[in-house]
Amino acid sequence: METIKISHSLWRMLLLTFTSLVFVLGGFFMLENTNDGFHVVVAWLCIVFFGLCGLYMLYSMLKERLMGKPFMTITDEGIIIENAKQKVIRFADVESFELMEMSNQQFIAVHYKSGVEQQKLDEAGILGRSIRNLNRNLVNAQETFSTVGTDMKAEVLCELLNERLGYSIKGSNP
């Protein structure tokens, strides 16, 4: 089967970058027009936080568009998600994918096979175990990934992943 590459929406990334720039400029405007200590702290927090957010958006956009590293790559073997840290989800380890919604945001829950689920939990660090346990309590799956802002609808992506999963299972059992 063909490899499918999914990127973030270019317009959404540009909008978020522009919005971050507006908040940074607002922080500088606030610095210029106040001497109050509280407002100075708030201004600097705006400048630093939204400045870093804007830089991250620019970095992500350049990485996806110029370097050809999409947010998500779906192959015959699994999914590669490029975030701050690369995540690989092998179809051989997955039982199913499920579309979930929480706080008006859609994401995909990964239901691992029971042996793999315990292995992933054992391999995770303290923070990773906490996140996996929190996910388990919230959505009954150890791992999730967001579909917000991608150029493929969440329903279509979930259906595609389950189709690939079915193909992967049939392909490995002749």
Q: How many CB atoms lie within 10 A of CB 93?
A: 16
Q: How many CB atoms lie within 10 A of CB 7?
A: 21
The whole-angstrom separation of Cα 77 and Cα 66 is 25
25-49: b (≥16 Cβ within 10 Å) or e: eebeebbeeeeeeeeeeebeebbee
Q: pLDDT digits over 77-121, tens only?
A: 899 988 777 888 999 888 889 998 888 888 898 888 878 777 777
Whether 170 has a pLDDT exceeding 80, the answer reads no
* DSSP characters over 113-135: -HHHHHHHHHHS-HHHHHHHHHH
The whole-angstrom separation of Cα 13 and Cα 86 is 20
What radius of gyration do the chain's Cα atoms show?
Answer: 20
Whether 42 has a pLDDT exceeding 80, the answer reads yes
Give the per-residue pLDDT at 30: 92
**Non-local CB neighbours of 67 within 8 Å, separated by 6+ positions:** none
The whole-angstrom separation of Cα 86 and Cα 1 is 23
% of the chain with per-residue pLDDT over 70 = 95
Residue with tokens 């499918």: 4
The whole-angstrom separation of Cα 23 and Cα 39 is 14
